[in-house]
Amino acid sequence: MGGIIPKNLLEDIRSRCDVVDVIGAYLQLKRAGSTFRALCPFHKEKTPSFHVNPQRQIFHCFGCGKGGDVFKFVMEYENVDFGAAARILAQRAGVHLEFEESGRERSPGGIEKDALLRLHEDVAQLYHRCLLDDKHGAAARDYLAGRALSLEVAKDFLIGYAPDRWDTLLLWAEKKKIPVKLLEAAGLVLAKDAGGYYDRFRNRLMFSIRDELGRVVAFSGRVMNPDEKTAKYVNSPETLLFKKGRILFALDRARRAIADARQAILCEGQIDCIRCHLAGFTTVVASQGTALTEDHARLLKRYADEILIVLDADTAGQNAALRAAEVLLGAGLSIRIAALPKGEDPDSLIRKQGREGFERVLAGAVSTLEFQAALLGARGELASEAGKTRSARAMLELIARAPTAVQRDLLLHQAAELLGVSEDALRQDARRLQRAPARETAEAPPEKPMVHPTEEIRLLELLVHNPDLAGVVGGHLPETLLTDADCRVLYRLLLAAPPDLNAAVSEEGAECQRLAAQIQMAPERVGGAEYTPREAAQDLIIVIARGVLERQRAEKQKQRATAQGATFERLTQEIAQLTLDLRNLRLDWPQAELVLLSLAD
């Protein structure tokens, strides 16, 4: 979150949040003498071993060992850090959460993040009242009714209406004595060339965009007249609160269900996403029409192991699905793609065929490689030797995005079956694709450079821009956990902080030298109070370490398949420990740090 919460404020929150009341809002507690019991939400069990003690204001599970105070429970259950848990509890207790001055988050113009959050919530309520009560909101209410979205749904998702005026927010802010500069910093008004301001959103249905903690951070305005010659959607610009490459619509609602299922369903638009939730598909999030980013993938990786992509069946939708799959695959996620019937989206399909129609679409989802092979086949690429060679190259380039050797191995096996070629030949081509130097001839373009694991590259870039992180990174991530030889060399050098990295790699291979130049030329990808370089480093360390444990578990599972007796029992215990470590290696640093330190020993 950035900033320091004063201790007296934390104690005030703690005193107002009784542990039984808070946990009772999440779980069905039953009194057992002086304590309360429930089925533990952190592991599967049939007999309650989760206890809540109102006298000591703590919880403890005698099955999995988790325990702590009310802050710790919210951190564990909501899968958030301490600052986010404090904000959730402060909102519940009606405590205004203030930070010590040194920790306040500000925009370059000096606008505080908390002020922007309060403004967005107030504006969302204003737009919502305009939808429900304003006579000019009748057209918006009619539009919702035509889309089979009730006013109860509008209340639940805080949908609103921006009146067809240039000064709705300006007049409202003047009455509330809200500075126009705050509206401008929020992207809600625009400056005129001749002086003055005007509202960004006018005569549009307004969707409140929330971050994963449920705070309104932006808006998306949709036109209601399909014949209107203007952009279908107008979105808030990027602000101190809103980084569109890090926000997924409805993640605040879906994240607990996603974490339980370890699977997320990804669609494209807000109404599609809302329709899915209304039909009971509570793991659905939407990319809001923007290209999926690595930050999106990293965010989903916190909660899910598998992503099911549902996009339109036209050519643009197919290409978008493959691009999204590449990004998600690079984060180490398993991907399946579900094709919608031609001319349908999730909203129209569910309205016509009900929940069962969408379930049939999801049941027909195929792996990324199966989807890619089907597209190539439909384009006639698998009917000739030359076409099959091009198809193999396309599949290998996709497989190279996978960050772990285990995942690449499984994908290569699947690709060989889909292409009808020998797995050995495909593996030879994969190795050749990695080793081949860039060549430029009149007949062919230069070969693509060797592909390195995405997360390892990002970590190296982070160390280049933030050498002060070498201590925390080196202390938690041994060099041996990196899978790529060139990345290991550069990692070792960056931890040693050479005065000239290019000189330090002069004796290394050509690819290592090229990679050193690449990471030094890469732009700074993170910064600021919202997502600091240290937090980015922690996320990357966890993702890389998870890859190591996943490979170890896969190898032991393979060994156990033919083991017997004591060896079988030993492998079973080791697999169980690895599974527990993987569960703890979520993007929650205090919890993950214990596992990381054990790996570093």
Higher pLDDT, 503 or 377: 377
List CB contacts of 288: < 8 A, sequence separation 6 or more.
Answer: 209, 220, 235, 244, 247, 248, 249, 268, 269, 270
* For residue 354, pLDDT beyond 50: yes
pLDDT at 499: 75
Highest mean pLDDT: which of 423-432, 443-452, 518-527? 423-432
The Cα–Cα gap between 182 and 173 comes to: 10
Hey, what long-range contacts does 154-159 have (CB within 8 A, 24 or more apart)? 154/128, 155/128, 157/207, 157/208, 157/274, 158/124, 158/125, 158/128, 158/208, 158/216, 159/128, 159/131, 159/205, 159/206, 159/207, 159/208
Q: How many CB atoms lie within 10 A of CB 364?
A: 12
Asked if residue 199 lies in contact with residue 166, where contact means CB atoms within 8 angstroms, the answer is yes
* For residue 459, pLDDT beyond 60: yes
List CB contacts of 483: < 8 A, sequence separation 6 or more.
Answer: 403, 404, 405, 453, 456, 547
The Cα–Cα gap between 36 and 538 comes to: 36
**pLDDT class of 448 with cuts at 50, 70, 90:** very low
168-191 pLDDT, tens digit per residue, is 999 999 999 999 999 999 999 999
Q: What is the CA radius of gyration of the chain?
A: 26
- What 3-state DSSP class applies to 383? coil
Dihedral sign for Cα 15, 16, 18, 19, please: negative
35-38, strands of its sheet edge to edge: 30-32, 35-38, 50-53, 58-61, 67-68
Architecture of domain 7-102 in CATH?
Answer: Alpha-Beta Complex (3.90)
* For residue 308, pLDDT beyond 50: yes
> Which amino acid belongs to residue 279?
A
Superfamily (CATH) of domain 113-242: DNA primase, catalytic core, N-terminal domain (3.90.980.10)
Asked if residue 162 lies in contact with residue 130, where contact means CB atoms within 8 angstroms, the answer is yes
Phi, psi of 263 (to 5 degrees): -145, 140
Highest mean pLDDT: which of 146-160, 232-246, 555-569? 146-160
The Cα–Cα gap between 534 and 473 comes to: 9
At 497, list the tokens: 């902080």
The CATH T-level fold of domain 246-364 is Dna Topoisomerase Vi A Subunit; Chain: A, domain 2 (3.40.1360)
526-575 pLDDT, tens digit per residue, is 655 456 888 888 888 888 888 888 888 888 888 888 888 888 888 888 88
Q: Which residues pair with 218 in a beta bridge?
A: 209
List CB contacts of 582: < 8 A, sequence separation 6 or more.
Answer: 546, 549, 550, 553
> What is the distance in angstroms between the CA of the first residue and the CA of the last residue of the chain?
30
97-146 pLDDT, tens digit per residue, is 655 444 445 555 556 777 898 999 999 999 999 999 878 889 999 999 99
